[in-house]
Structure 1
């Protein structure tokens, strides 16, 4: 009995150590891969919560904090596109959905930006500082649907709007369980039949 317990404890320790090493390696390499974003979708009753995390380079072509007026304009334009969730992610008309809330911001390893700065300091010198982080866009949306049972699919214009984006890893959670899928430029449609 002791041999079995010792063997199980060693196996658990080995798996835990491997998982921690993998997590450390992932943090050292950065939290994302260029061209790949993550879309989480949770459906509860008539409410859909969606969250998108995508590398800045996928959305605007660079990963650092905007340093020029042109880059700032690109970021603002991207935020406007990301705010309009039902133009970006098309749900079946029969589901009768409307967007209730949207929040879009940029984040990097050091701090979050996206909220307005109320304090006064030299933005020029900050913009000139190199950023070693990996900036990413983070968007969250709340959508309500009058007929959620009609959510049989989702089609995206994400790849049309953001030229650097190649892949979305999608995680869907409903009352029936969880499922994972991928959306790509060649396959911009997600089948939700059987998931709802």
Structure 2
């Protein structure tokens, strides 16, 4: 499966940013083996451009996207989760890609306990324990670009605008010019391959 394309190179990359919660003595749920600690306001993006294939993998605490991490029980919470899921289902509006590159979405996978996916924490019915659960949202997109030579950058400004609680995104890029890691913010939202 193409997911290996993302998993292997990123396992070899050094971390670009030191993580503030390394001394945290809580036992957190880190969805699908993500790098670093669960930190509100901070998301991670892996971007791989290989030939005409562009893969984007976003991993974010749910707090950044929906404003909470508990299971949606009220109608308002359920509506918020549904609205965020609908936004995440449209990667071409969340990530600014050059129109000349002709990128079209092939596949996507969205994962989160908030979307009804099984939580990775154990469910023993202890309400206190669940009130402290950290939920992440993962989004994996595979796109095909008819003219990948025109894809020189990815603009994350639409992502920051859609989810204003996201203060920075740590990006790992692999493209025709090699690999690099960098930090983006709403004021510095463009990354180049």
Please tell me the TM-score bracket, short chain as reference: 0.7 to 0.9
CA contact (8 A) 1:154 1:191 kept: yes
TM-score w.r.t. the length of structure 2 is: 0.72
Q: CA RMSD in A?
A: 2.8
For residues 42-191 of structure 1, the aligned pairs below 5 Å read 42-107=48-113, 113-115=115-117, 130-156=130-156, 157-191=158-192
Structure 2 unaligned segments of length 5 or more: list them. 1-19, 29-36, 119-124
Distance in 1 (alpha carbons) for counterparts of 2:131 and 2:83: 21
Deviation at 1:25, TM superposition (A): 4.0
In the TM superposition, structure 1's runs of 4+ consecutive aligned residues that sit over 3 Å from their partners are: 22-30, 112-116, 125-131
CA contact (8 A) 1:169 1:181 kept: yes
Structure 1 unaligned segments of length 5 or more: list them. 1-21, 117-124
Report the equivalent of 2:26.
28
Q: Which has the larger radius of gyration?
A: 1
Deviation at 1:130, TM superposition (A): 3.8
Which is helix-richer, 1 or 2?
1
- How many residue pairs align between the two structures? 159
TM-score w.r.t. the length of structure 1 is: 0.71
Deviation at 1:50, TM superposition (A): 0.8
CA contact (8 A) 1:65 1:131 kept: no
